[in-house]
Amino acid sequence: MKPLRIALTKGRLEEKTVAMLESIGYDCSQIRNKGRKLVLCIPEKNIEVVLAKSADVITYVENGVCDLGIVGKDTIMEMGKSFYEVLDLGFGRCRFALAVPKGTNFYEGYHSRTIATKYPNVARSYFESKMDIEVVKIEGSVELAPILGLADAIVDIVETGTTLKENGLEIAEEIAQVSARVIVNIASLKLRKKEIENLIDDMRRAIKEN
């Protein structure tokens, strides 16, 4: 039987996922000592873990080269959704917010508004039913854009709000809650139902216990 392949978002979600899996007795030593390897095994469970950037996790799962993926809701909202989103892992929590320079009202006046963001699709779909906006995609620190006068507001991930405060911004509206999710390829769930359900049940148990 070929192994169940999981695409795991590198970095913070990776650490938390490993801790969760270890708490229910999965041997993640290979992931902990990965070196430069990108494909790793969880022995005795017939599971293969692939480490990838968040957006790639979605691409791999959508195309079926990975059966499951662990990825933030932020990336899911930005990238689309032809897969099953079966479990909220509860960690990696933060939120999408619209932030404006402190003391300003985003909706005041009739001038056209520009929003700077790393997540153009999220920003666009949030405003789709509200008003037309101009979206500017920024790759690095989005907080800069209003300071430099490029944008009236930003749409970004907010964890504690410290970065916003330090750059003279404040949250005007909360857009969505974000946390790590388990996604499953549509065909895989049908073809390998038992294995995938067992794994998800294990994860569910791990969340409950912690």
Partner 1 sequence: MKIHDKITPDGTRDILFEQCEAKRSIERRLARFFRHRGFDEVMTPGLEFYDVFYSNAAYFPQETMYKLTDSKGRLMVMRPDCTIPIARLMGTRLAGLEKPVRLYYDQNVYRSNPSMKGFSNEITQTGVELIGAGSIKADLEILELAANGLTHCSIENYRLEICHIGYFKQLMNNLEADDTEKEKIRELIESKNYAALGDVLKSYPESEAVTALAKLPEMFGGCDVIDQAAKLFPNGKKVLDELRSVYESLQALGLGEKVIVDLGLVNQAEYYTGIIFRGYVDGVGEPVLSGGRYDKLMQDFGQALPATGFAVNVNQLSRVLLEKGDTVPPKTQILLFSEKQCDPLVFARMKELVEQGIRCEYSLFDTLEQTKAYAKSKGIPTVEVL
Return the structure tokens found at 11: 């970095």
> Contact between 65 and partner 1 (CB under 8 A)?
yes
Q: Whole-number minimum distance, CB 55 to partner 1, in Å?
A: 10
Looking at 23, 29, 46, 63, which residue binds partner 1 (CB under 8 A)?
63
Nearest to 204 by CA among 177, 188, 185, 181: 181
Q: Quick check: 82 binds partner 1 (CB under 8 A)?
A: yes
Cβ at position 20, least distance to partner 1 in Å? 16
Q: Where are the beta strands (DSSP E) in 46-119?
A: 47-52, 68-72, 84-88, 94-101, 113-117
Answer yes or no: are the C-beta atoms of 157 and 74 closer than 8 Å.
yes
Helix locations, 45-171, DSSP H: 54-62, 73-79, 120-127, 144-148, 162-166
> Nearer to partner 1 by C-beta: 84 or 91?
84
Pick the closer one to partner 1 by CB: 67 or 152: 67
Q: Tell me which of 47, 74, 77, 83 binds partner 1, using CB under 8 A.
A: 83
Least CB distance from residue 30 to partner 1, whole Å?
Answer: 25
Neighbours of 127 (CB within 10 A): 17
Under the binding rule (CB under 8 A), the answer on residue 88 touching partner 1 is yes
Residues that bind partner 1 (CB under 8 A): 59, 61-65, 80-88, 184-191, 193
